[in-house]
Amino acid sequence: MAAASAPFQEILKNPDSYSQEDFNRARAEKVLAVSATLLHQRGHEDIAALLAQAEACDLDYQEQDWGKDWFDILLDFDNPQIERFSEEVQQRVLTAMQEVCDREDFGLQHLRVRAILPEVDQNWREELASGGKARPSNHARKVRVGPAHPQADGLHFTNEWEWRVFAVLRDRQLALPDNDTLGILPLSAMRVRDHIFEPDFLITYRGYAGVIEVDGPHHKGRGSDDKSRERLLRHAGVKYIDRIDVRDASSKEEVEKFVTDFLRHLVG
């Protein structure tokens, strides 16, 4: 089994089947996931949401002391997210992660937050000299060790339910003529005032822009945050926003009905 397609729980249960590098990344992913959830439960929803945008995470071995292995944890973010890691935020994250690592019987010394470096090619001098911009590192989050992150057409999705919605949107796109097509932008980061949003899908169709969010089982209880976010998106020109629960995404028929209703409201 390829590590990139294996959930971190699978790797941690069967460490002998994977490399030490994959095992460390799986442990880091678990620390990140549990710490973010812990911070959310303690009322730090903004920090938890920020951690959910990490492009990659890994553990870097430092030393063994008092019979325990000690690591630094590395988190990679795009530049807009890096700016939000104040000293206070970093300390809250590190404290939560150290609490989680202590339960896992290994130690965490430092949290290191790094910026994703841009991709460049041999023409970078000409591009920058002519006023061009270096390409961003990726259109969205990078694939991380589990849960499995599906891919299609060179695009990445954070879970299977997002991929299912994309598959229906792509079918609908292929059925349309070239002069009446729709654009599908999964996980495209966008800045609105002083916020960075990453909608699950930004859809463009017949001169309108809409957003589809795929809500997981832990989404409930964030109504006020959702309304504030949706208000800002509408002020930025997004005409229609709708959400589909993952429980409704298990049936292709239900997803097709949702997409049909979404497009009808978007252009209506």
User: Is residue 224 assigned to a domain?
Assistant: yes
| 149: confidence class by pLDDT, cuts 50, 70, 90 | low
Task: List C-alpha distances in Å: 209 to 93, 186, 212, 257.
Answer: 35, 13, 10, 19
- Co-location of 91 and 161 in the same domain: no
Asked whether the predicted pLDDT for residue 72 surpasses 70, the reply is: yes
Cis peptide before 177 (omega within 30 of 0): no
Look at the chain and report how many structural domains it folds into: 2
Residue 46 lies in a domain: yes
Q: Is there a domain that residue 121 lies in?
A: no
Task: Name the residue type at position 250.
Answer: S
Pick from 58-67, 96-105, 218-227: least confident: 218-227
Contacts of 228 (CB under 8 A, 6+ apart): none
Q: Same domain, yes or no, for 84 and 177? A: no
Strand partners, 212: 201, 242
Do 158 and 77 share a structural domain? no
> What Å distances lie between residue 63 and 15, 21, 72, CA to CA?
21, 16, 10
Of the three residues 65, 94, 115, the one that is the final residue of a domain is: 115
d(CA 55, CA 75): 7
Backbone φ and ψ for 215, nearest 5 degrees, come out as -90, 125
Residues 156 and 104 in one domain: no
CB contact at 8 A, 62 and 97: no
Question: Do both 72 and 179 map to the same domain?
Answer: no
Phi, psi dihedral angles at 255 (to 5 degrees): -65, -40
CA distance 9 to 25: 11
Q: Is residue 128 part of a domain?
A: no
pLDDT band per the 50, 70, 90 thresholds, residue 222 = low
- Give pLDDT tens digits for 75-109: 998 877 787 888 899 999 999 999 999 888 899 99
For tokens 């249960």, name the residue.
13
pLDDT in tens, 172-194: 999 999 999 999 999 888 888 87
Final residue belonging to a domain, choices 93, 115, 137 = 115
Mean pLDDT of the residues in the chain: 83
Which pTM value belongs to this model? 0.50
Asked whether residue 104 falls in the same domain as residue 179, the answer is: no
Which residues span the domain enclosing 228? 151-267
Mean pLDDT of 198-217: 91
pLDDT tier at 35, thresholds 50, 70, 90? very high
CB proximity list for 171: less than 8 A, separation 6 or greater: none
CATH of the domain at 28: 3.30.300
Sheet-wide strand order for 107-115: 56-65, 68-77, 107-115
Q: What is the pLDDT of residue 1?
A: 37
Q: Is residue 146 part of a domain?
A: no
Distance CA 220, CA 214 (A): 12
Residue 143 clears pLDDT 60, i.e. is over it: no
Q: What angle do CA 66, 68, 69 make, to 5 degrees?
A: 130
| Residue pLDDT, tens place only, 238-265 | 999 999 988 777 788 999 999 999 999 9
Least confident range from 70-79, 202-211, 242-251: namely 242-251
Q: In terms of domains, do 31 and 102 share one?
A: yes
155/259 same-domain check: yes
Residues 77 and 162 in one domain: no
**Mind listing the pLDDT tens digit for each residue in 36-60?**
999 999 999 889 988 988 888 899 9
Q: Is 115 helix (H, G, I), strand (E, B) or coil?
A: strand
Shortest CA distance to 93 belongs to which of 37, 12, 26? 37
User: What value does the CA radius of gyration of the chain take, rounded to a whole number of Å?
Assistant: 20
**pLDDT at position 145:** 38
